[in-house]
Structure formats: structure tokens, C-alpha cells
Amino acid sequence: MSQFDDKILGLVSRADYRPITLKAMSRRFQVGPEDYAEFRSGVKAMVREGKLAIGKDKTLSKATEPAKGLIVGTYRRSAKGFGFVRPLKSEGRSQDIFIPPDAGTDASSGDLVAVKIMKRSHTPGTNSEGKIVRVIERASGVFVGTYFEEGTSDSYVKVDGTTFQAPIYVGDPGAKGAKPGDKVAIEMVRYPSPEIEGEGVITEILGQRGQPGVDTLTVIRAFNIPDVFDDDTLEDAREQAKKFNEKKIEGRLDLRDVPTVTIDPATARDFDDAISLSRDDRGYWNLGVHIADVSHFVRAGSPLDQTARNRGTSVYLPDRVIPMLPEVLSNSLASLQQGHVRYTMSVFIEFDATGVRTDRVFARSAIRVDKRFSYEEAFSCMEHPETPVKGVSPEVRSLLHQMLELARILRRRRFKRGALELTIPKVEVELGDHGEVVGAHLSHDDESHSVIEEFMLAANEAVASFLTEKHVAFLRRTHADPDPGKLKQFAEFAASLGYPIENPLSRYDIQKVLDETADKPERYAIHYGLLRSLKQATYSPEIEGHYALASEDYCHFTSPIRRYPDLQVHRQLGMILDKKKPTSDLEELVALAEHCNRTERRAEMAERELVKIKLLTHLEGRIGESFHAIIVGVEDFGLFVQLVELPIDGLLHVTTLGDDYYYLESETHSLIGRRSGRRFRLGDRMDVRVARVDVDRRELDLVPTDRDPEAPAPPARPRTRSPRVSAPRAKDRLAPPKKSKGKGKRKG
């Protein structure tokens, strides 16, 4: 058996896998020259064994399941030891397979596994039962936890979260100097199973639990996020810095005297987009979107490129940014800083007076930003262009006002074509001088944010449609149409809240309800309910369109400093501008899309995890305090709520709701008291009190404020899976590309 067999089976078994060639697959797994012969032999052996099939185009795909009658899926283990496997092509949790505690072998949460069905379900609402016969692909081999000792010779690590039921034995902690209470990273040597305990080896001491910065490092290691640039990458960046000369703009369109501005969060450090705008005598607009020409510095195949590709995206954590590119590029050479000449890729889009795009032109260019604005500064000038502002010329104030006018026109046209917009604010953590949480709030964006969003969207669409017309292969940003059945279920839910939807398959009818609830108490339930009905946006070379944006051609072009897909699009556009033939390796693009989707999700999960850790740490000192809350998830065992004053989710166990028996009414996402008729419904508001906080297990237990403070604490959690109806965490934002208020982060 080849060392690559399990990885190959894991890849071809994924629901989103598209067949690729042997060569593309070797690049996907980063197979080195010394291992390529073994890799190729292993693939041929799997073809002979009937595990893989070769298509006429020499692409590889799964021939059959790993063995007759087995089902492949992703395993999630509960804190109680049992778990569930969700088949790869499952339509929802109703098809999950229950795995008893003694049938999980050594699989851990997130692993791709093969399952044998032992008892089929014939009753609606129940799950079939199975046992795991093989782990196909491990989710991770590195874990983070707290080190402790038992007796004089035994040392263990309690892994964070609920991945493992029991602590992991570690061999020689003295080699790393671990002390009880240290947060450590371990590499698993033997995964735990019902028959034998797990064993690992400490690879790094992260610091004493609770010390500033240790929580951030914990998340970085747990998600295997590279946070140090190797010497070759740094040397490549320094060489690019030596070569760069602001005065040399040969071969570029000279825009240094064109009034240009950047609008970013006040704390931003990298600036990858700038705007110019003019209007002619016909009333036509000429919008200039100027994006940092990162491809000039990051050559394909160079150390910088290999590192950027591996990282896939910058990672934005509450107290730290892990950039995709070294700071000499991301914060200097490629950053469109005020008063400095910078290289850009410019998109000039002409619109008529009503906002219809009539032309588009692309160019390598050089600009000099006249003024850097924060959103707050820009919006003030947009609204009051006649009011003098120190350091801002009348010409620039007029430019900002015109930007607001055009953005409003484009926004109206976007909604007219059927685009959706959900108002789902982002949690922003407020940190003290030592990284401790002093508060948190939901973000609030003024209209200046939507101005930049509209212009970035327009540029992304212009580039994508141009490359499509040229028959160029590139990474698109796609958002598949939702399942009609889920939209109908959403419509039934909205109707139960008093907001009927005449045609749930109509974007216009859906947006009408979103608008109606924008300032109503039901907003939270309606907007999250719709988001749960939609699919995730992904990168793909396939032409699928973007459902939420009602766009047939869409890509990410506007943030090459922080997203590798944008850099790939820049290169393809640049080849056309240089009158060269763009690359057309579709198999390579498929592998790249999968990689970028994975790194994007990893970044999102890491940010979410660290926000939760910091908020839970803050709440450890606030046991017994009361908060306002909104119900964001409904399960048969309780309610998931989000605190209003400190946006974090917690669980109210059903036994804390009062002296009654509560049952789940799935259709209305409600828990209803059988005797009292009392109803708790998704989106309802209630007052809660903090009962228990467990930072290491990432758990927050709450009780209603009207519950007797002397009553027993909530029972141990029976949670077996994520909530059936809950706030989404990794869904794509449905607005156009958005710049958040933290450290230059941009989402979309």
C-alpha cells in the first residue's frame, strides 16, 4: 500500500471533487520528485484494484466505494463518546449515521471515514446505526491542549474542545520543559479508541494558560496556520524591494495626476484598492478602480508565489493579522499609500446616467493616492461636500460626493436585477492594552461602506465578464442556486412569523421580506433563516454564476494582497494586456480552487474560534450576571441564544425553562411547553443569566433570569451535534465585497 492511498481516496470521495489528472493530483498533494514514482505506482495499483477509474481525458475518479456496502462521510464525535457520520452526498442531518461509543474505532472529529450500516432506521426522525471500519483521511494530526501530570510519572494533555473524551498521554514532556498548566501543541502518535488510550508527543510549549497572547497562538497551532515566512520568501521580497523604483513607470498608464482616494477602516495597514471618478458632458460616468499590481512583485513559481499559494489567504484574528505576503509587500511596496507612486491594475468602467455599463477598459498603471480616508471621514465629506475639511481639497470633496451619487445608482440597479442583501452584523471584539477583552459589539456600517462595495463589485464583474468573453480559464467566485425545497421551508417559517412570501423561488419576493424586517424584532430570525437556506459561495473555474448577487459572471479581483484567487485572476488579465496567451490548465485550476476554498474556511473558523475563546475568558469573571439575548437556535434539548451586550452564543438546557415538558415543533422552529403552551421560537428575545463557562471546551451555559439562583446548575450537556436551527458561521457574506473595521480586513 502506498503512503498516499488514504489521501487519494479521501480526495476522490469528496462531494465537491472534480476529476483531475495524475499530474494535477500530485501537485494537489505537493508530492516531491523523490516520492513521485511511489505516488504514480500507488495510483496504478488502486486502478487495478478497482478503487479508482481513469476517464478518457486521463482524469481520475472514484470507481466504487472503498468496499462494497460502505458509506463514506465526515465523523463528528460528541463529548459523551458517541458520534455521527454525515455521508458526503447527504442532504441534511436526517441522513446522519449514529455511531455508538464502542463503534468509532480511533476516528476523531472531522475525519473522513468509511462506515458499515449495522441497523437501518425505518422510523422518521431516527438515524441508522453504523460502525466505522476505516479512517480514510485524518482531519488533523496536531492538537492543542493543557498539560497536566498524574502522580510522579504520568503526563497528559487535555485537548481543547470536545474532540477527545479522555486526556492524551504524552511521552517525555521534560524534553520540551512543559509545566502543569501550560498550553502545548502535540502531534498524535496513536489516536485513542475504545480499547486503548491515545498517545502523543509535545512539539511546542505555547505558554501558561491565560497569559496574554497564548490564546491566539493556541488557535494558530490548532488550525495549522503558517505564521512565519521562510528565508527564501523573505529574501525574494527584499529583492523585489530593491528593484522597485517609484520613478520608473515605463509601459504603464500614467495616472499620477488623476485625483485618486482610498477609503478603508481607520486601523487598516494595507491598502489594495483606490478610486477615481469623472463625469462627461453626456452625463456618463467613468469609474476607475485601481488595484495593487501584486502580480508585478509575485512572479509565478517564485518563493513568494509558493508561500502565498500555500497560505491561500491572510488570516484576520482579533489581535493579530497573519498576512499572505510579507509585510514589505503587503504593507509597503504593494500598498496604495497616500502620496506614494504605486503600480496598479486599473479597471475603467463607463456607465450611462442610469448606471448601465457601456464600456470597460483595463490597463497596467501607476497612481499616486491624493488622500487616504477612513470610512467615517469619507462619509462626512460625501454628505457635505460644501463643508471645508482641513487637508481635503474642494476637488476631492466633490469626488467623494460624486462617488456617493454613482454608488446609489448602481445599488438600485443591483436590487432591480434581483440581488439579495442580508443585514447580518459581524462581532467585533474590543481589546485592552494586554489583549484582554474589555467588551464586544456588532459592527455597524454607514453608507460609505456600501459605496466601496458597489465599486468593488462592479470591477469584479467587469473583469469576470471580460475573461469569459476571451474564453480564458480563471478562478470564479460562484454561489450555486439554493435547493427549492429549502426555500419553500424558509417561506413556511417566514409565514409562521407573519411574513408570507408569495413565491419563495423569487429573489424579489424574498428581498421584499428582508426589507420589511430590516428594523423589526423578527429581523434576526428571518435573515439568519434565509442564510441557512442558501449554499456557500466557493471558488471554481466552472461557470455557475452568483445567486445572491444575481450575477452571471463574478470573480474576486480587488484584494490580491490578501487573497490568492485574486492574484490568479490578475495574472490571467495581465497576460492578455501583455498580448500573451493566458494559461489554460483547467485541472490545475480545479485543484487550486479546492485548496483556496479550504484555506478560506480555515481562516474563517480560526477567527470564529478565537473570538469565542476571548469572549468566554471575559465571561469567566461574570458568572451570575444577566444579559439580554436572542434565540438563534432551537433543539429538542434546549435553546441556543446570542447575548446582545456581548455577542456570543450559549446554551439554555431545556430543563432550565420551567416545570413543564417541552417538545420541538420543527416547522416553526419552536420549543413548546406541553402543559403551559409556553413557546420559545427562533428570533425571540429573552433575558438570561450566565451559569457556567468552560473556556477549554468552548462552552457557555445559561439559564433564564427568572430561574431560582439557588436551583441546581444545568445538567451535563447532551449535545450530540451542532444545532438544527442555528446562526450560520461559515456562510459567504451576501453583500458585495466588504471592508470590515478591523486591521484592513475585507470580506466578500
Lowest mean pLDDT, pick from 168-177, 218-227, 509-518:
168-177
Closest residue by Cα to residue 211 from 603, 617, 610, 615: 617
pLDDT one-digit tens code per residue, 451-494 = 999 999 999 999 999 999 999 999 999 999 998 988 998 998 88
Cβ neighbors of 683 (< 8 A, separation 6 or more) are 497, 521, 522, 523, 524, 525, 526, 528, 630, 631
What is the predicted pLDDT for the residue at 732?
Answer: 43
* Same structural domain, 32 and 82: no
Same-domain pairing of 441 and 569: yes
Question: Is residue 628 included in any domain, yes or no?
Answer: no
| Share of residues in the chain with pLDDT > 70 (%) | 91
Asked if residue 586 and residue 460 are part of one domain, the reply reads yes
Pairing of strands 638-643, 649-653: antiparallel
* Residue 569 clears pLDDT 70, i.e. is over it: yes
Which domain-ending residue is among 26, 45, 62?
62
Residue 534 predicted with pLDDT over 60: yes
CA distance linking residue 364 with residue 254, whole number of Å: 9
pLDDT grade for 362, boundaries at 50, 70 and 90: very high
- Examine the domain organization and report whether 379 and 302 are in the same domain: yes
For residue 239, pLDDT over 90 is answered with yes
Contact call for residues 80 and 720 (beta carbons, < 8 A): yes
Q: The domain spanning residue 53 has which CATH number?
A: 1.10.10
Distance CA 65, CA 54 (A): 15
Last residue of a domain, one of 113, 137, 161: 137
Residue 312 placed within a domain = yes
DSSP track, 3-45: TTHHHHHHHHTSTT---EEHHHHHHHTT--TTTHHHHHHHHHH
Across 166-198, where does the E strand assignment appear?
168-170, 182-190
154 and 133 within one domain: no
Number of domains in the chain: 5
- Residue 727 has a pLDDT of 33
Same-domain pairing of 490 and 468: no
Q: Angle at the Cα of 387 (from 386 to 393), degrees rounded to 5?
A: 80
Same domain, 319 and 252: yes
Identify the domain containing residue 556 by its residue range. Answer: 231-474+552-603
Average pLDDT over residues 328-357: 96
Task: Say how many residues make up the chain.
Answer: 748
Asked if residue 744 belongs to a domain, the reply is no
Q: Has residue 464 been placed in a domain?
A: yes
Distance CA 517, CA 711 (A): 38
Express each pLDDT in 79-118 by its tens digit: 778 899 988 766 566 788 999 988 988 888 888 888 999 9
Write out pLDDT tens, residues 262-313: 999 888 878 999 999 999 999 999 999 999 999 999 999 999 999 999 999 9
Residue (of 103, 68, 60) closest to 83 by Cα position? 103
Distance CA 236, CA 299 (A): 10
Q: What is the mean pLDDT of the chain?
A: 87
Q: Is residue 546 part of a domain?
A: no
pLDDT band, very low/low/confident/very high, at 717 (cuts 50, 70, 90): low
Say which residues have a Cβ less than 8 Å from residue 370's Cβ, sequence separation at least 6. 259, 260, 261, 338, 393, 396
> Are residues 27 and 85 located together in one domain of the fold?
no
Assess whether 574 and 597 both reside in one domain. yes
Angle at 202 between CA 201 and CA 203, to 5 degrees: 110
- Answer left, alpha or beta for residue 326, where phi above 0 means left and psi between -120 and 50 means alpha: beta
Read off the pTM.
0.84
pLDDT at position 39 is 86
Over 90: is that where the pLDDT of 725 sits? Answer: no
List, in sequence order, the alpha helices (H) in 556-640: 564-577, 586-619
Same domain, 38 and 103: no
Residue 730 domain flag: no
Amino acid at 82: F
pLDDT greater than 50 at residue 719: no
Residue 539 maps to a domain: no
Assess whether pLDDT exceeds 80 at residue 554.
yes
Return the percentage of the chain with pLDDT > 90, whole number. Answer: 55
**Listed residues 33, 62, 91: the one ending a domain:** 62
274 shares its domain with 320: yes
* Domain identity same for 306 and 174: no
Task: State the Cα–Cα distance between residues 417 and 424, nearest whole angstrom.
Answer: 22
Confidence (pLDDT) at 56:
61
Domain-embedded: residue 544: no
Residue 160 near residue 144, CB atoms below 8 Å: yes
- pLDDT band of residue 365 (cuts 50, 70, 90) is very high
Give start and end residues of each alpha helix (H) in 507-585: 507-516, 523-533, 564-577
Q: DSSP state, 711?
A: S
Range 166-180 average pLDDT: 84
Sheet of 679-681, strand order:
662-665, 670-673, 679-681
Strand arrangement, sheet containing 261-264? 253-255, 357-368, 341-351, 285-292, 273-279, 261-264, 371-374
Q: Would the pLDDT of 120 be above 90?
A: no
